[in-house]
Amino acid sequence: MSVKIINKLLSIGVAMALTAPVLVQADISVDMSDVRGDDHGDGSLSYPERYDFQPGDLDLLSMKVEKGQDGIWFIANFRNSVRDPKDARVDVGPESLDNFFRLGFFAFNIDVYIDKDREKGSGNSFMLPGRDAKVAPGFAWEKAVMLSPRPELIRKVLVDSLASEFEHLDKKAIESRLDANIFYPKKVKVYNRAIEFYVPYSFLGEGNPAEWGYTAIVTGAKTLMNFEIDQLIKMGLMQRGWDVMQPEGGITEQTFGIPDSRKPVLPIVDLLAAGEGEQEKQLSPGRGAELSGVSTVSAKVGAGVPVTSIAAYLGQPDQKAKAVLLSEPRDASPIIGNTTAGEISGAAVPMPAPKRDNSVDGIKRRLQKLDKLRDEGVITDKEYEQNRQRILNEL
C-alpha cells in the first residue's frame, strides 16, 4: 500500500490559544492516494455520452483530511476540473441550475464511511440506498459523510422514505437518529480540480481522525428537477438511491454505460484504494460486494457486535429493526438494528432514466407527460407553460 498517512503533532501558537477558546485538537494530516485513470468501477463502466461528462471527471486522485476550526476538512482531488453547474444538462424544468445546485458542483456524490473504533464488525455495514454494496466488517462505520450537490433534498427524501416505512415512529425521532449518524456537508469549496467539504466535531465526536478508517466512493449524481422528484415520491420510486446514476447497458446518454446489462454492475465509479487492480477486484462481485477502506491502523478483533444491513431500509423491516430504531441515539451505534447482513432485498425498484426524444411522437409523449403533471398538481400553470414552450421549440 502506498497510502501515506502522516499524523503531525504541532504546537498551537500561543497568541491563537489566547484569543480563540477553541478545543485544542492535534493537527491532522491524512493523505490517501487513489489510482489514476480508474474511473470505470469494476473496469466496465463507460461515461455518459453527453458534453457535460468527460472521462476523468469522476477520477479521484487523492483524499486528504485536514484540521479546521471545530472540525475537519475533507479535500478530494480529481483528475479534471470540477464542472460548474451552469454546464449541466437536464431535460425539462423551469429552474435555473445555479439555484438548483448551490454548492458549485453537480456531477458527482462522494460518500465517506468513517470507521472510528477500528474494531472488526463493530458498527454499520450498509451503504446508502442505491450504492448496492456494503462496507467490509474490518471497516464497519460509526459516522457517514455524504457529499451531495443537493444535501437538504437528499436528507429530506431519506427522512420521508423512512417515515413512510416506519409509520408509527415520530419523524423527529427518525431525524435525530439519522443526524447522529449521517452528515450532509453544506460548507463546500471548489478550487479547480479540488473540492473541499467541512465536517464538524459536533457530529464526528471524540477521537483522532488520523487513526480512523475511511471507505470512500464516488458515484455519478442524477440531475433531476424538483417536480420530477415530487412525481417520483408520489410513485413510490424514491427509495432506490434516486440520487445516484445507475449503470445501463450499451451507449447511454443519461448514465454510465456497461457492455452487458444482464450482468449487474455497481454504480460506484471510483473507490478510494491505493493498490493497482484493488478497486476492480473489490467491485467485481457486483451487488452486495464488500468494500474495504483505507487506514494506517489495522482493525482489532471486535467484540462481536453484528454489522447491519441496508436491507432494513429497502425491504420490509422486521420487528427487531423497528425496536432498535426506536431506541435512543447513542454514539457509535447502528442506525437500524441487528438485521442479517446479506443480499439487498428485492424491494429495489429501478428508476427509468429520463431520455430526450425529439421525434414527433417523442414530443407528443413529453407534452402528455407534462399535461399529467399539471393535472395532478405537481407543477404550476406557469411551470407548465414554460416547459410546454421549451418542448415545442424543439420541433
Kindly list the residues in this chain that would bind Ca ion in the complex (CB under 5 A): 34-35, 38, 59-60, 270-271, 279
Beta bridge partners of 67: 72
- Rounded Cα distance between 321 and 337, Å, is 4
- Coil, helix or strand for 32? strand
Complex with Ca ion: residue 30 or 180, whichever CB lies closer: 30
CB atoms near residue 322 (< 10 Å)? 16
- Min separation Cβ 271 and Ca ion, Å: 5
Cross-strand pairs, 72: 67, 199
Whole-number Å distance between alpha carbons of 273 and 279: 6
Cell of 147: 457529499
- 39 vs 142, beta carbon nearer Ca ion: 39
Cα 48 to Cα 65: distance, rounded to the nearest angstrom = 30
Distance CA 193, CA 349 (A): 35
Query: How many alpha carbons lie under 13 Å from residue 361 in its C-beta half-sphere?
Result: 0
Q: Which residue has the cell 468494500?
A: 291
Place of cell 467490509: 136
Bridge partners for 198 per DSSP: 73
Nearer to Ca ion, 243 or 270 (CB): 270
**Hey, which residues does 111 pair with through a beta bridge?**
146, 217
Q: At what angle do helices 381-392 and 360-375 cross, to 10 degrees?
A: 180
Nearer to Ca ion, 42 or 117 (CB): 42
Nearer to Ca ion, 35 or 379 (CB): 35
- The secondary element (H helix, E strand) that includes residue 217 is strand 213-220
Q: Compare residues 5 and 158 and give the one whose CB is closer to Ca ion.
A: 5
Q: How far is the CB of 47 from Ca ion (least distance, A)?
A: 14
CB 327 within 8 A of CB 357: no
Minimum Å gap between C-beta 135 and Ca ion is: 16
Report in angstroms how near the CB of residue 164 gets to Ca ion at its nearest: 35
Identify the CA nearest to 5 among candidates 35, 27, 36, 32: 32
The minimum distance between CB 266 and Ca ion, in angstroms, equals: 13
For residue 35, the minimal CB distance to Ca ion (Å) is 5
> Least CB distance from residue 96 to Ca ion, whole Å?
32
**Closer CB to Ca ion, 4 or 234, in the complex:** 4
The single-letter code of the amino acid at 266 is L
Smallest distance, Ca ion to C-beta of residue 236, A: 34
Minimum CB distance to Ca ion, residue 218 (Å) = 8
Q: What are phi and psi of 136, to 5 degrees?
A: -60, 150
Instruction: State the Cα–Cα distance between residues 247 and 266, nearest whole angstrom.
Output: 7
Q: Specify the residue, 216 or 332, whose C-beta has the smaller distance to Ca ion.
A: 216
Q: Of 224 and 266, which has the nearer Cβ to Ca ion?
A: 266
Q: Which of residues 109 and 333 has its CB atom nearest to Ca ion in the complex? A: 109
Beta bridge partners of 108: 220
Q: What are the E-state strand segments in 48-203? A: 60-68, 71-78, 108-115, 134-135, 143-147, 182-183, 188-191, 194-200
User: Least distance in Å: CB of 37 to Ca ion?
Assistant: 7
